[in-house]
């Protein structure tokens, strides 16, 4: 397994180009299964997850090639079941179920995998499919949904931790080729859901209200091919912004969308970090001494759970006490013990982490437990004195395109160590 070696203490300076959004790309890639006509998707990030999805599309019978950020797909003839080993490795692969059910009226996929950050059941996906008229069966590690026809219905997708993003996407895609009108109540409002709706509408779907808690889908008989550009990755944007603040740096984020990050930018400014917007560029720099802040993760447009770990690394540097409360995933504090190896002082009390910031961080070997925890450890290593080795960075490669190269371009002393 590869690792990163980081020699910290260097302020990051310069400009970084933000890649396309992984969380938007995967459902959009899956949506190409809804038509037999060619589709072209631009600004796809080069990640292990997007490469996995290309393999899944191919295993279903589609012609799919990804080159220099552009995906070309034609799903002329497809089958209703996906390769077990491919699907189980990546949670985002569950989003192929909606297109398969919508187009073929059947879908059989393995229960998906992904990062270990707490329970992420697919019961709301299945609830939505059942409301559309599908019969659901779970057996032998597979989920199977079959329907004689997809019929419009009213579907409530609110869960214990809020709306389901991929569940909203799945029901939206299944209903696009259904009969009648489907209304999703308590729909996820994330920009990634909005981007999927834009793509589906460009294919001929009739979807209204994406980005609000109520989405209305008017079923159509068929969809056609389309061309689309994926939105910028708001989590990558936030990660580099926090890295700038943690290293006392000065970074310009090119191709970012500040409107997708209001909660994060607000907390950065509260922590005494300057954020200046100029069109699609964001300039982020430290004003001076960091200040402690309290953060609670919430569904969009609240503070994203996918930025919680990175923010914790920053607040470990801020003198005073910060409280971070996790309301989305119950096991998303696995990075705390690894940050402690670098000198951070953090205590867990129920769903909250008490960060006693201002301690000097020093390099040490650390182990990444999931995608965003990996990013947090990289940020902490960049701010620490000495050498930090971040192991198991295959997690990072799932969600950040060439992170080590981008950081080196900003002046970071970071290298990838390939292990045989």
Q: Tell me what percent of the residues of the chain surpass a pLDDT of 70.
A: 97
Mean pLDDT lowest for which of 379-383, 395-399, 411-415? Answer: 395-399
**Alpha carbon distance 211, 189 (integer Å):** 4
Confidence of residue 11 (pLDDT cuts 50, 70, 90): very high
pLDDT of amino acid 183: 98
| CATH class of this structure's domain 3-18+232-417 | alpha beta
Q: Which residue has the tokens 């998906």?
A: 112
pLDDT at 92: 76
Q: SS3 string of 125-191?
A: HHHHHHHCCCEEEEECCEEEEECCCCECCEEECEECCEECHHHHHHHHHHHHCCECEEEEECCCCCH
pLDDT at res. 207 = 98
Pairing of strands 13-17, 250-254: parallel
- Indicate if 22-226 has the same CATH topology as 3-18+232-417: yes
CB-based contact 133:162 (threshold 8 Å)? no
With 70 as the cut, is the pLDDT of residue 113 above it? no
Give helix 48-59 / helix 22-31 axis angle, nearest 10°. Answer: 10
Task: Tell me which CATH homologous superfamily contains domain 22-226.
Answer: Enolpyruvate transferase domain (3.65.10.10)
Question: What is the side-by-side order of every strand in the sheet holding 154-156?
Answer: 154-156, 181-185, 214-218, 206-208
pLDDT, position 420: 56
Beta-carbon neighbour count of residue 64 at 10 Å?
Answer: 21
Structure confidence by residue, pLDDT tens digits, 197-208: 999 999 999 999
Residue 409 φ then ψ, to 5°: -65, -20
Helices marked H in 250-399: 262-270, 308-315, 336-341, 371-383, 394-399
The reply to whether 115 belongs to the active site is yes
281-307 residue pLDDT tens: 999 999 889 999 999 999 999 999 999
Catalytic residue among 39, 95, 115, 189: 115
- Confidence tier at 82 by pLDDT (50, 70, 90): confident
- Sequence spans of domains, the chain: 3-18+232-417, 22-226
């Amino acid at each position: 397994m590869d690792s990163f070696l980081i020699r910290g203490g260097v302020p990051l300076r310069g400009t970084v180009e933000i890649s396309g959004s992984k969380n938007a790309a995967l459902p959009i890639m899956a949506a190409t299964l809804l038509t037999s006509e060619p589709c072209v998707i631009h600004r796809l990030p080069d990640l292990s997850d997007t490469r996995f999805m290309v393999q899944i599309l191919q295993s279903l019978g589609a012609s799919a090639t990804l080159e220099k950020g552009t995906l070309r797909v034609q799903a002329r003839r497809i089958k209703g079941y996906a390769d077990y080993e491919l699907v189980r490795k990546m949670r985002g692969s569950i989003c192929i179920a909606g297109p398969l059910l919508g187009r073929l009226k059947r879908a059989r996929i393995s229960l998906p995998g992904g990062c270990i950050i707490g329970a992420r059941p697919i019961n709301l996906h299945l609830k939505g499919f059942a409301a559309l008229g599908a019969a659901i069966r779970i057996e032998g590690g597979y989920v199977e949904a079959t329907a004689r026809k997809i019929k419009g219905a009213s579907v409530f997708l609110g869960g214990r931790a809020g709306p389901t993003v991929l569940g909203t996407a799945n029901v939206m895609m299944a209903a696009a080729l259904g009969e009648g009108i489907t209304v999703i109540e308590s729909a996820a409002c994330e920009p990634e859901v909005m981007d999927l709706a834009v793509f589906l509408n460009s294919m001929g779907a009739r979807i209204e209200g994406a980005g609000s808690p109520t989405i209305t889908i008017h079923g159509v008989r068929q969809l056609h091919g389309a061309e689309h550009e994926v939105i910028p990755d708001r989590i990558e944007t936030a990660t580099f912004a926090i890295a700038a603040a943690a290293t006392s740096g000065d970074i310009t984020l090119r191709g970012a969308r500040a409107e997708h990050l209001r909660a994060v930018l607000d907390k950065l400014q509260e922590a005494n970090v300057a954020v200046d917007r100029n069109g699609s560029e964001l300039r982020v720099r430290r004003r001076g001494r960091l200040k402690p802040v309290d953060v609670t993760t919430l569904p969009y447009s609240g503070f994203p759970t996918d930025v919680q770990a990175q923010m914790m690394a920053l607040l470990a540097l801020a003198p005073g006490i910060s409280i971070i409360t996790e309301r989305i995933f119950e096991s998303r504090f696995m990075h705390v013990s690894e940050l402690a190896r670098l000198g951070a002082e953090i205590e867990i009390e129920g769903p909250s982490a008490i960060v006693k910031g201002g301690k000097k961080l020093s390099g040490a070997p650390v182990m990444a437990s999931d995608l965003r925890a990996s990013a947090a450890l990289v940020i902490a290593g960049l701010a620490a004195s000495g050498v930090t080795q971040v192991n198991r960075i295959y997690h990072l490669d799932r969600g950040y395109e060439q992170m080590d190269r981008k950081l080196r371009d900003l002046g970071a002393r970071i290298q990838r160590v390939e292990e045989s």
